Amino acid sequence: MQSDFSVIEGAYLRDILEQPRVLGETLAGLEVSKTLYRLAARLQQGKFKTVVLTGMGSSFHALHPLNIELVNHGLTAMMVETSELLHYRSRLFDPKTLIIAVSQSGQSAEVVRLLEINRGKSAVIAITNTPGSPLAERADATILTQAGHEFSVSCKTYVTALMALQWLGDALCKRDLRRTREELQTASPAVRDYLAQWKEHVQDLAEMLKGTRHLFLVGRGSSLAAVGTGALIVKESDHFHAEGMSSAAFRHGPFEMLSDETFVFVFAGEHKTRELNQRLFADVREERGRAELVGEDAASPPCALPSAPRSIHPIIEILPMQMVTLALAAQAGREPGRFELASKVTTRE
């Protein structure tokens, strides 16, 4: 089967292919402001009891790696969707809470409401792509990404947010930011190398996914960012149902859905749980399920990730899922990423 590249070669694909450039531009603009330095010092001194990480959609999923990093550093950190924070966790708005809020637009309905409810109770660190937005203007400290205009589905804004969050985490944990910058500098060439073969990746995946009706993305640890965002962008881009979950959760029920119409992408992830993920992949295959492993040692070229430092692994893990969105669109003969019901900025709760 030959994919219809004319259908997919539009604004969404151009955004995907611009990712190496905007990652480089975002890295060039990263710095620790005086306010951010003071907040990091207060955190280290124990003046914040809790760090709340909040966002919606891919902005929420992008917080998984930072959440792990902060907890491993000995801090009390929790991820809460902004909508849940507003209506069910409002007691967290407190001077002893540090809020890290991610919003690409900086003006979605939930983040605007957060700013109204908080009103200076908690210190807020913002990650946003939009200077002059309510979040950028009213946060105590702001880190701006440099993704530029984005057509629809989050790709440039997602990977640049991951880069900014890695920088922020290392700043808050008082790590050597010179080393952080050196590692982050490898992101742009790694992404560029992978995307150089985008047509081949899309063609392979279109053939691989033929006949698929149920798509699962599973992983552990920091890979939860890619599985959550990957499933989201498949639904947004292709009107195709996909579900992202932990590898462990997949065994608790969804394993029963294995069939010729079900396809599972298993993210190998970090060494700590890689053997568990590989075992799941083997078990799916043993039950004659359809699956591919996503990782540096993957057998399938679209799923094989370039070797990279652990700090940028979440950035490159999303790339195969972006290729999946293009492959499914080519199969269906529709333009990927063109919204028909939703909008780029969600303005209604």
- Give per-residue pLDDT as tens, 168-179: 999 999 999 999
- Using an 8 Å Cβ cutoff, are 313 and 184 in contact? no
Contact between 298 and 268 (Cβ < 8 Å): yes
Q: How far, in Å, CA of 67 to CA of 318, rounded?
A: 18
Tell me the C-alpha distance between 209 and 290, whole Å.
9
Residue 216, beta-bridge partner list: 243, 264
d(CA 90, CA 109): 16
- The domains of the chain are located at 31-185, 189-332
Structure tokens, 104: 């690409």
Q: Could you give the angle at the alpha carbon of 160 between the alpha carbons of 156 and 164, nearest 5°? A: 165
CB 153 within 8 Å of CB 237: yes
pLDDT in tens, 167-218: 999 999 999 999 999 999 999 999 999 999 999 999 999 999 999 999 999 9
Q: Which two tokens stand for residue 190?
A: 């790694």
- The answer to whether 265 touches 321, Cβ cutoff 8 Å, is yes
Do 189-332 and 31-185 have the same topology in CATH? yes
| Fold for the domain defined by 189-332 | Rossmann fold (3.40.50)
Three-state SS at 218: strand
Instruction: Locate 331 and state its tokens.
Output: 């199969």
CATH placement of domain 31-185: 3.40.50.10490
Report the alpha-carbon distance of residue 218 to residue 45 in Å, rounded. 37
Nearest to 108 by CA among 82, 131, 85, 88: 82
| Strand-pair category, 50-55 with 77-81 | parallel
**pLDDT by residue, tens only, the chain of 349 residues:** 455 678 999 999 999 999 999 999 999 999 999 999 999 999 999 999 999 999 999 999 999 999 999 999 999 999 999 999 999 999 999 999 999 999 999 999 999 999 999 999 999 999 999 999 999 999 999 999 999 999 999 999 999 999 999 999 999 999 999 999 999 999 999 999 999 999 999 999 999 999 999 999 999 999 999 999 999 999 999 999 999 999 999 999 999 999 999 999 999 999 999 999 999 999 999 999 999 999 999 999 999 999 999 999 999 999 999 999 999 999 999 999 887 777 667 777 8
The dihedral sign for the CA sequence 5, 11, 14, 19: negative
For the CA atoms of 48, 28, 132, 59, the dihedral, rounded to the nearest 10 degrees, stands at: -60
Residues in the chain: 349
d(CA 144, CA 135): 11
Distance of CA 240 to the CA centre of its chain: 19
pTM of the predicted protein model: 0.96
Q: Is the dihedral of CA 28, 29, 34, 38 positive or negative?
A: negative
Do residues 140 and 134 make contact, with C-beta atoms less than 8 angstroms apart? no
- CA 329 vs CA 4, 22, 203, 334: distances in Å: 9, 25, 11, 5
Residue with tokens 């694909």: 13
